[in-house]
C-alpha cells in the first residue's frame, strides 16, 4: 500500500539540525504513527512521504517554511508580571500556553526576567531551522473511521 491521504503510516525517524545534532528520534521506541493528510507532521515531510511504501527509506531536508515556520521577531514580547497571575515563581525557560490574537494556542517560553518585565518568545523551538529527517516507513494501513474523524491515530486500547 502506498502512502496517500487518510491512510495511517508508521515511520521511524531521526531529526537533525543543519549541524547534524539529533533533535528528536524514534529510535529505541515505537515508530511514529500518523494520519497522512491530517497535518499530524510537518508539511514538508508529509509531502515527501506521499506515494512511499513499507520498507522505503528516505532523507528529507525541510525548509522552515514547510517545517516549524520562519523565526518571527514579533513573537518576542515583553509582558508585565501581572499577566502571570497564579504563578508563584517565574523562571527563565518556563513554558506557558497563551492565546494568540487569532484565537489559537501557542507555547511561549520565558526568555528573560527584568523586575516586573517578563520577556517571552512564542516561536516554536525549531522555528527558522532546516530540518533534516532520515525516515524509514515501517507500515501503511487503512485508518479506522474514528481515526479519520479525530484526525489522529488511536493506539491499541485507546477508546476515547
Ligand atoms: Zn481520537
User: pTM of the prediction?
Assistant: 0.80
Domains of the chain plus CATH, in order, are 7-68+128-150 (3.10.50.40), 73-121 (2.40.10.330)
What is the 112 CA–ligand 1 centroid distance (Å)?
37
What is the 149 CA–ligand 1 centroid distance (Å)?
8
| pLDDT at residue number 88 | 87
Distances, alpha carbon 51 to alpha carbons 48, 54, 125, 140, in Å: 8, 10, 30, 11
C-alpha to C-alpha distance for 97 and 88, rounded to whole angstroms:
16
Instruction: List Cβ neighbours of 50 (8 Å cut-off, separation of 6 or more).
Output: 3, 4, 36
Residues with beta carbon < 5 A to ion ligand 1?
150
What is the 81 CA–ligand 1 centroid distance (Å)?
37
Q: If the chain, 160 residues long, is cut into consecutive pieces of 10 residues, what is the mean pLDDT of each piece? A: 97 96 95 96 97 98 95 93 89 89 84 95 92 98 94 79
| pLDDT at residue number 105 | 82
Place of cell 511514529: 32
| pLDDT at residue number 92 | 96
What is the 124 CA–ligand 1 centroid distance (Å)?
24
| pLDDT at residue number 159 | 65
Amino acid at each position: 500500500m502506498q502512502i496517500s491521504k487518510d491512510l495511517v503510516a508508521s515511520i521511524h525517524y531521526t531529526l537533525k539540525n543543519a549541524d547534524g545534532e539529533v533533535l528528536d528520534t524514534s529510535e529505541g521506541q515505537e515508530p511514529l504513527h500518523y494520519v497522512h493528510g491530517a497535518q499530524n507532521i510537518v508539511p514538508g515531510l508529509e509531502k515527501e512521504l506521499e506515494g512511499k511504501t513499507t520498507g522505503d527509506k528516505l532523507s528529507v531536508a525541510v525548509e522552515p517554511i514547510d517545517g516549524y515556520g520562519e523565526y518571527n521577531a514579533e513573537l518576542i514580547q515583553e509582558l508585565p508580571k501581572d499577566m502571570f497571575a497564579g504563578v508563584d515563581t517565574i523562571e527563565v525557560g518556563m513554558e506557558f500556553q497563551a492565546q494568540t490574537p487569532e484565537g489559537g494556542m501557542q507555547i511561549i517560553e520565558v526568555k528573560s526576567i527584568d523586575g516586573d518585565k517578563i520577556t517571552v518568545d512564542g516561536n516554536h523551538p525549531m522555528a527558522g531551522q532546516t530540518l533534516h529527517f532520515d525516515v524509514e516507513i515501517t507500515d501503511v494501513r487503512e485508518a479506522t473511521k474514528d481515526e479519520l474523524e479525530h484526525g489522529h491515530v488511536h493506539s491499541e486500547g485507546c477508546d476515547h
